[in-house]
Amino acid sequence: MVTILSSQTVLPSAPTPFLTPPCSSCEQFKLPTHAPLLYVYKSNNIPLQPSRILITSLSQALVPYYLLAGRLSWSATGGGRWELQCNAKGAHFYQAYCHSTLDDLGDFVPNQIVQQLIPDVDYDCPIEQVPLLAVQLTKFSCGGHTIGVATSRAIVDGTTAMRFINSWAKLARGELLGSTEMPFNDRTVLDSFKLNKTPRFDHSEFQPPPLWAGRSEGSERETKTDVVVLKLTRDQVNKLKKKASNFTSPNKRPYSSFEVIAGHVWRCVSKARYAGDDDQPTRLSTLVNCRNRLKPPLPSVYVGNVVFPTVTSTSSFHDLMHKPLSYAVGNVREALERLTDEYLRSVLDYIEREKEMKVVRNNFYRPARKVREGEFRGNPNLFVVSWMNSSYREADFGWGKPIYFGPGFMDSEGKAFVLNSTEDEGIVVAICLQALHLDTFKRLFFEDIEEVLPISKL
């Protein structure tokens, strides 16, 4: 469906520092893969050869953001840790063509077709050869274009990715970056928060997630997954907030949109997966941008990955299904509020003492797919990522704002994204689940919003 026409390496347009800055302890537990971001633009005002503009401005952007032109290498200390090599190896840039129209892709559900709009990163080659940034410009037969961006999770979080792409877009428009837009590249700052003490908390986020209980091998052979994108209006989000607040103290601050949506999705997923196993344990995981949670806060323009993990306490399917929405939402809030400055410093000390980072990564990121390398028995957990209030609308390369922004690919069962709608004030939820659970989940997702509470509870 998508044909790659050309590929090239884009180098910084001016000399950049050659050095080996440290990867922070927070970055060491991240996966060495890339986050797929997709921007969609209509044909209005797009020049005949936008690639020239994008390549020239990308080369310029890689000067202040020289970290993204580097490569990772395995640390001599071992334990699955890596180092960042600032060596100006550059970013990869691909040009492609799609014979379909933008309308043919509908809502750009992040499936295997949309995946072709994202750069294909080769993880079979040595890590020293894997680019930290790859970009694919795809032209459609209708004249529209997509820009697929793959950014290394090892050193880039959503905030850094957005700031870089928006700076790149500003340079493409022929503008200069202001002093407040220049990136902060000091890689020693985050680890300066370490206290070099024994961790002060029980860091359950790094412990293995719950497994399916009481299932024999082969009891659930259907492993096919699919992705669905569901849209919530502002009115529906407010209904969820009202339902959750009906069972909480009036003195507490109102629940946030993310808290109620994450709790709602967790309940609906558990109901959809339910097969008579009331005591089945489950937990929700998420990542939080902690630049402002540290004291003193990190600069907003700090380049790096500063999202810390957190997990809810383990609950049972029975409690999630039968207790009010405030139970699930309250668990989400508790997990988010846990990430105080003191707790984050303890996380840094915890990771510093871990001898094998692969185990730490797998315990947080990998769903409980296998037991003793047996057959897949299902994943009882949920991993929710928030892209709400992101600044993607600023990615105007000179031909208008994107008409769509979202994840370019999803293949991890039990993972969901929550982001703002590009069309209105609503919220979009994209989730990957086993195909056999999707219809039930979609039905419950909207039915539970409209569920009428007992009069005694109102």
- What is the rounded (10 degree) CA torsion for 229, 233, 239, 240? 30
201 assigned to some structural domain: no
Number of domains the chain is built from = 2
Q: Looking at the structure, tell me whether residues 169 and 307 fall in a common domain.
A: no
Q: DSSP class of residue 57?
A: H
Assess whether pLDDT exceeds 50 at residue 371.
no
* Structural domain contains residue 293: yes
Dig out the tokens for 222 from the structure: 């259907």
Mean pLDDT computed over 1-14:
96
Same domain, 451 and 382: yes
User: Looking at the predicted structure, is the pLDDT value of residue 381 above 50?
Assistant: yes
The proportion of the chain whose per-residue pLDDT surpasses 90, expressed as a percent, equals: 81
Q: What's the whole-number mean pLDDT along residues 274-300?
A: 96
- Cα 41 to Cα 54: distance, rounded to the nearest angstrom: 14
Q: Give the pLDDT score at 395.
A: 95
Residue 396 lies in a domain: no
* 81 in a structural domain: yes
Instruction: Based on the fold, state whether residues 189 and 220 are members of the same structural domain.
Output: no
Question: Average pLDDT of 115-138?
Answer: 97
What is the domain extent for residue 381?
207-389+410-457
Confidence at 455, pLDDT banded by 50, 70, 90: very low
Question: Within this chain, do residues 289 and 260 fall inside the same structural domain, yes or no?
Answer: yes
Looking at the fold, whether 233 and 275 belong to one and the same domain comes out as: yes
pLDDT for the residue numbered 396: 96
∠ Cα 259 420 384 (to 5°): 45
pLDDT (tens digit per residue) in 428-439: 999 999 999 999
Q: What is the pLDDT of residue 364?
A: 84
**Over 80: is that where the pLDDT of 215 sits?**
no
Q: Residue 152: its pLDDT value, please?
A: 97
Domain boundary among 146, 162, 193: 193
Which of 165, 193, 221 lies at the terminal end of a domain, its last residue? 193
Could you please report the per-residue DSSP string of 360-399? HHHHHHS-S--STT--------EEEEE-TT--GGG---SS
Domain for residue 82, yes or no? Answer: yes
* Residue 126: pLDDT over 70: yes
Which of the four pLDDT bands, split at 50, 70 and 90, describes residue 370? very low
CA dihedral 191, 195, 201, 204 (to 10 degrees): 20
- Encode pLDDT of 51-78 as tens digits: 999 999 999 999 999 999 999 999 988 8
pLDDT attached to residue 451: 77
Are residue 108 and residue 82 in the same domain, yes or no?
A: yes
CATH code where residue 140 lies? 3.30.559.10
Q: Are strands 404-407 and 133-140 parallel, antiparallel or unpaired?
A: unpaired
- Boundary-marking domain end, from 169, 193, 217: 193
Lookup result for tokens 């309940």: 267
pLDDT of residue 362: 84
221 and 368 fall within a common domain: yes
- Out of 22-36, 153-167, 208-222, 321-335, which region has the weakest mean confidence (pLDDT)? 208-222
| pLDDT reported for residue 223 | 77
The pLDDT, as a whole number, for residue 456 is 36
Residues 185 and 211 in one domain: no
User: Six-digit token pair at 391?
Assistant: 């600044």
Token pair recorded at residue 42: 């209509």
Task: Categorize the per-residue pLDDT at 286 as very low, low, confident or very high, splitting at 50, 70 and 90.
Answer: very high
Same domain, 150 and 228: no
* pTM for this predicted structure: 0.93
Q: What is the pLDDT of residue 222?
A: 61
Is the separation of the CB atoms in 357 and 259 below 8 Å?
no
**What is the per-residue pLDDT across 241-257, written as a single tens digit (0 to 9) for each?**
999 997 666 667 899 99
pLDDT of residue 302: 97
Helix spans in 23-127 (H): 25-28, 50-61, 112-115
Kindly state whether residues 180 and 257 are assigned to the same domain.
no
pLDDT at residue number 374? 54
- How far apart are the C-alpha atoms of 329 and 331, rounded to whole Å? 5
If asked whether residues 235 and 181 sit together in one domain, one would say no
In a domain, 404, yes or no: no
* Amino acid letter for position 329: V
Percentage of the chain lying above the pLDDT 70 cut? 93
Q: Give 84-97 pLDDT, tens digit per residue.
A: 999 999 999 999 99
Mean pLDDT across the chain: 92
161/216 same-domain check: no
The three state secondary structure string of 252-285 is CCCCCHHHHHHHHHHHHHHHHHCCCCCCCEECEE
pLDDT category at 115 given cuts 50, 70, 90 is very high
